[in-house]
Amino acid sequence: MPASESLISAFAALHTATASDKTLNNWLAGIHFWHIINNATWHGADMLRAVKHGFAKMVPPSSRRAKCPPVTIEALCILQDHLDPQSPFDVAVTAVASTAFWCCCRLGELTIRDRNFFDSLKHPNIPLSISHGPRPRESKIVNNNIPAYAPLFSYKMQSGWELLTKTLFISRCNDIWVQNGFPSMPGHAFRIGGTTELLLQGVNPDIIAVQGRWTSRTFLDYWRQVEYILPLFISSSINIDRLQNVDASMTAFIRHHSVPQT
């Protein structure tokens, strides 16, 4: 150590067509970190980049994850039609589903793993106006009088209140979807669906990238894999002109951020 670039590249090339490019990146990150903590120079440059590029093209099918299905507008409507507006739990699920979809959020930004992992400095709290109950002449709020130190999407229970966990949220959503002929979907499906829907509605890609906290490179890589998603969103209200406009917008996005095309 330090390992030469030819040695690092030979190590990467040795595993071509046996693992995914993400697996390779994790291996290389580990080796890189080992160099850092031992104060050794890292020689990963042009040769390694070329090997990684070829490696990504030869990933075997067995190492590829199944594509994540998106939440569509239809799926979102089915969900909200079957959630009980008088149930505190279902109201919290409705709020998270809408926010995750239209704001392109990760569920980890809206839900909590469990009560022990809640940190009021990191996670959003309930606004005081909600925690203190409805204002005069305001319609009844189902989840009112929950303390302001509680997580934003908490819900009432007979014993007090409870925070909405990701497991409970996605389980409730999938129970409804499966019963209505939809596939079971992971939490990331909301972010995928919301991003695609906003693009199809003509929202500027730069705005969506900022809203969804995408980096320009990550957002572009995501869009290049979106071809299988588009047919699920196409309806009588989405014509070929709109799809062409989206393609033009993404091309402009690529040029604006000077992202090299592969």
Q: Which residue reads 């589903």 in tokens?
A: 97
Q: Is the pLDDT of residue 240 over 50?
A: yes
Residue-averaged pLDDT of the chain = 81
The CATH fold of domain 69-130+137-261: hpI Integrase; Chain A (1.10.443)
In the predicted model, is pLDDT for residue 169 greater than 90? yes
pTM of the model: 0.66
List, for residues 117-150, the tens digit of each pLDDT value.
777 777 777 765 555 444 444 335 888 888 877 8
Q: Are 64 and 20 spatial neighbours (Cβ–Cβ below 8 Å)?
A: yes
Going from N- to C-terminal start, the domains of the chain cover 5-63, 69-130+137-261
Rg (CA), the chain: 23
d(CA 79, CA 93) in angstroms, rounded, equals: 9
**CA distance linking residue 221 with residue 232, whole number of Å:** 20
Q: Mean pLDDT, to the nearest integer, of 60-86?
A: 82
